[in-house]
């Protein structure tokens, strides 16, 4: 017995008239008649007493109607729950590392939220490594983050731009007037670094390793503001993704002679369905990236 047969049977029982049931179902009368004949043949039950155009439900038919009514009620409840879940999906969960958040958050929490008040944005500010882990565990819809494509084969990476990592220090630092630096120049430089939850740490470690050096890290922190405060205090310098340093920070950013670039873009779980509201947010971020980059492929706010 199919759901269609159940619905036809239910309506015939309610109206006790094939024609009226067909009109209510918006189908032809012969369609309902054939369906009821097929239902009786499949079940082996006499479901109706027929007297001309008038029909009445038999005892077996009444018993079947009770079971069919319960099933149709549950199906209707399931449909309602699915619609509720689809409506609740207007909450979009995003991860965004601190270094990119300083550029993108004002736009997405400002212009985008004003244009789309129906979408509830939940934005997690965390490091790129943690962001990708959360996407992989399906705790998030997607991440706008720095990444390396070898992090996980279970993720899909959509690159938006190359994000340069630069040496960042105070304006009174001896290197402040330099246009570029080598790892050898920075062999003994005390560093305040974002911790291993951020891909910048991996890239810096790799860069020093290729030069046969080891970075002189005096402190790791998971907080961008702590790193900046310690640099301001003269405890050391740091390496940061270019977008994370704002003009108001009053820092000097100096690229390396052998520059460090990291992929930045949108990361989703492979095979996970992308709903319309999630796609809307992702497309907004793609367009915003093009606007900030001015059609280029380098870091937003990449003035040197």
> Phi-psi category of 26—alpha, beta or left, where left has phi over 0 and alpha has psi -120 to 50?
left
How much is the pLDDT for 102? 85
Residue 302 has pLDDT above 60, yes or no: no
Q: Across residues 35-44, what is the average pLDDT? A: 91
User: Could you give all domains of the chain from N- to C-terminal order, each with its CATH number?
Assistant: 3-87 (1.10.10.10), 92-293 (3.40.190.290)
How much is the pLDDT for 88? 53
Average pLDDT for the chain: 89
Helix/strand/coil for 166? strand
Q: Across residues 260-269, what is the average pLDDT? A: 93
Residue 52 has pLDDT above 80, yes or no: no
How much is the pLDDT for 209? 95
Distance from C-alpha of 100 to C-alpha of 243, rounded to nearest angstrom: 6
Residue 87 has pLDDT above 60, yes or no: no
Number of H helices, E strands in the chain: 10, 11
Confidence class for position 240, pLDDT limits 50, 70, 90: very high
How much is the pLDDT for 112? 94
Residue 277 has pLDDT above 50, yes or no: yes
Range from 17-26, 46-55, 125-134 carrying the lowest mean pLDDT: 46-55
Residue 38 has pLDDT above 50, yes or no: yes
What is the value of pTM for the model shown?
Answer: 0.65
Confidence class for position 303, pLDDT limits 50, 70, 90: very low
How much is the pLDDT for 297? 52
Residue 258 has pLDDT above 60, yes or no: yes
Residue 110: exposure state from Cβ atoms within 10 A (0-12, 13-18, ≥19): exposed
CA dihedral 127, 130, 136, 137 (to 10 degrees): -140
Confidence class for position 107, pLDDT limits 50, 70, 90: very high
Confidence class for position 89, pLDDT limits 50, 70, 90: low
pLDDT tens per residue, range 150-192:
889 999 999 999 889 999 999 999 999 999 999 999 999 999 9
């Amino acid at each position: 017995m199919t759901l269609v047969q159940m619905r036809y049977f239910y309506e015939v029982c309610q109206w006790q008239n094939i024609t009226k049931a067909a009109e209510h179902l918006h189908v032809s009368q012969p369609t309902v008649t054939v369906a009821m004949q097929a239902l009786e043949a499949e079940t082996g039950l006499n479901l109706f007493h027929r007297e001309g155009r008038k029909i009445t439900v038999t005892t077996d038919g009444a018993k079947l109607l009770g079971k069919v009514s319960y099933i149709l009620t549950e199906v209707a409840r399931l449909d309602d729950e699915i619609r509720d879940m689809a409506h609740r999906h207007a909450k979009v969960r995003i991860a965004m590392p601190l270094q990119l958040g300083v550029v993108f958050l004002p736009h997405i929490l400002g212009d985008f939220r004003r244009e789309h008040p129906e979408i509830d944005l939940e934005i997690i500010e965390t490091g790129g490594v943690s962001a990708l882990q959360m996407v992989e565990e399906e705790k998030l819809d997607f991440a706008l983050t720095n990444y390396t494509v070898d992090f996980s084969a279970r993720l899909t990476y959509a690159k938006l731009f190359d994000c340069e990592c630069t040496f960042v220090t105070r304006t009174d630092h001896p290197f402040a007037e330099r246009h570029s630096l080598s790892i050898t120049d920075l062999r003994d430089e005390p560093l305040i670094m974002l911790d291993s939850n951020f891909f910048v740490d991996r890239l810096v470690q790799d860069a020093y390793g290729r030069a046969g050096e080891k970075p002189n890290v005096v402190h790791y922190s998971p907080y961008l503001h702590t790193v900046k405060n310690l640099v301001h205090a003269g405890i050391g310098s740091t390496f940061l993704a270019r977008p994370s340093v704002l003009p108001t920070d009053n820092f000097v950013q100096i690229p390396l002679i052998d520059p460090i670039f990291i992929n930045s873009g949108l990361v989703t779980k492979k095979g996970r369905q992308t709903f319309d509201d999630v796609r809307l947010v992702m497309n907004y971020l793609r367009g915003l990236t093009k606007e900030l980059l001015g059609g280029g492929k380098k870091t937003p706010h990449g003035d040197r």
